[in-house]
Amino acid sequence: MVHALLHILVPGVVALLFYRPRWQRAWLILAAALLLDVDHLWATPMFDPNRCSINFHPLHTYWAMGNYVFMLFPTMTRVWAVGFLLHMVLDYAECLQLGVLLPG
């Protein structure tokens, strides 16, 4: 639950810092990046607190992230790309917390 809360609050902070004066609209789009978690629907079990999303779910792979980076270039998709990459950073941080991505 803390995780979902972070996915709502951190985009709010980013929107406030970088997307003034229209930060509310930016917040809405950045938080909508939570929709990426739709790929959890294909996983069994759908939700596992001890599983690292990065490189497990199709929309959380390095391949997908490469696409998000390309989405940074057109102005039309830029805010979405920032939201998606922010989502990856938050999920990645969770993996570090689990110790999944640590070397060794």
Beta strands in the chain, from DSSP E residues, in sequence order: none
The widest CA-to-CA distance across the chain, in whole angstroms, is 45
Determine which residue in the list 27, 31, 37, 68 makes contact with Zn ion, applying CB under 5 A: 37
Stretch that binds Zn ion, among 16-24, 42-50, 68-76, 91-99 (CB under 5 A): 91-99
Closer residue to Zn ion (CB): 16 or 38: 38
Stretch that binds Zn ion, among 12-20, 30-38, 68-76, 77-85 (CB under 5 A): 30-38
Smallest distance from Zn ion to CB 35, Å: 10
Structure tokens at 9: 């609050």
Q: Does 94 bind Zn ion (CB under 5 A)?
A: no
The 42-81 site mask, x for binding Zn ion (CB under 5 A), equals: -----------x----------------------------
Q: Does 91 bind Zn ion (CB under 5 A)?
A: yes
Contact 29, 83 (CB under 8 A): yes
Contact 63, 9 (CB under 8 A): no
Task: Give the other-Cβ count within 10 Å of 35's Cβ.
Answer: 13
Contact 27, 12 (CB under 8 A): yes
